[in-house]
Structure 1
């Protein structure tokens, strides 16, 4: 018999996979001048006044450690046509920016070409939350780059949103 309140990790993941999440690439430039990027499916708005957003990096993420050291980052909302870019940034070890066209955000982080939108932030706070952190960013600039359908993660796969009329 299971102890009350103890949730099996596989069941937890299975149930929550029935809720779609948007896919973003968090980009930054480290103090050493190297570009860093990481995929997140846990991005959300937090506050309008002041404008705050958040994402939830895994504790063991090496990419997160480098983004955190930068103290500023850009959230790049991927479009439904950017699955290959998502895979490239999800891979570890290789140069994630190899062949990726981008420009600098107002705060200096990479804005990836052809994203739906971008949000330029400074790191406002980091809180411990189980096996993840809650990274809160203060928004300094943002823009819709290419209006379109965002890339979604749902039940272990990638897809796109279709609006009902």
Structure 2
């Protein structure tokens, strides 16, 4: 079924809400990014602005908004973890998206590199050392070099057009 594009919008007439709706057409995975503050407080936020960046060296990036209350903790932290959520972990996405006092309440954890909290039972985890930080509009780009990772076989939690979606994984047989 062919799709019909909406009217093309030029940069001089961008509507922020409409632009956000256009961005939301790109389906993303859902992660919880964690770190530890200098005072030992565990920090965690839900993020979908995550991507692999390089294989050599192994790098990832994520992009928190400047409005994030916990941004100062990430600015001072030497390490962070990306915890990729599985399709049955929507509750974790919501829990870490709130402003609650202890977002980690009831969440199975292990201590990662440099004491960072790592969520147990996720689809994948990447424990990273922060190697670069770049200002970018109303966000900050964090680049991390992977120090340790783990992954499991399960279906991912996906976010598209403002809603969570599960998937049915169809494994490719190419290259087998």
Please, what TM-score do these two structures have when normalized by structure 2? 0.86
Superposed CA RMSD: 1.7
Match of 1:46 in 2: 53
After superposition, where does 1:122-161 map in structure 2 within 5 Å? 122-144=129-151, 146-161=152-167
Match of 1:118 in 2: 125
CA distance in 2, matches of 1:49, 1:164: 28
- In structure 1, the residue corresponding to 2:99 is in which secondary structure? coil
Answer yes or no: is the 8 Å Cα contact 2:32–2:44 preserved in 1: yes
State the 1:162 CA deviation.
Answer: 2.5
Q: Is the counterpart of residue 10 in structure 1 residue 17 in structure 2?
A: yes
- In structure 1, the residue corresponding to 2:113 is in which secondary structure? coil
**Aligned counterpart in structure 1 of residue 32 of structure 2, from 16, 19, 25:** 25
CA distance in 2, matches of 1:109, 1:159: 29
Match of 1:162 in 2: 168
State the 1:29 CA deviation.
Answer: 1.3
CA distance in 2, matches of 1:48, 1:114: 25
CA distance in 2, matches of 1:22, 1:84: 14
- Structure 2: unaligned runs, 5 residues or longer: 1-8, 172-176
CA distance in 1, matches of 2:153, 2:108: 18
CA distance in 2, matches of 1:67, 1:15: 29
Match of 1:85 in 2: 92
- Stretches of 4+ moved more than 6 A in 1? none
- In structure 2, the residue corresponding to 1:88 is in which secondary structure? helix
CA distance in 1, matches of 2:40, 2:56: 32
State the 1:6 CA deviation.
Answer: 4.2
- In structure 2, the residue corresponding to 1:85 is in which secondary structure? helix
Q: Which has the larger radius of gyration?
A: 2
Q: Is the counterpart of residue 71 in structure 1 residue 78 in structure 2?
A: yes
- Structure 1: unaligned runs, 5 residues or longer: none
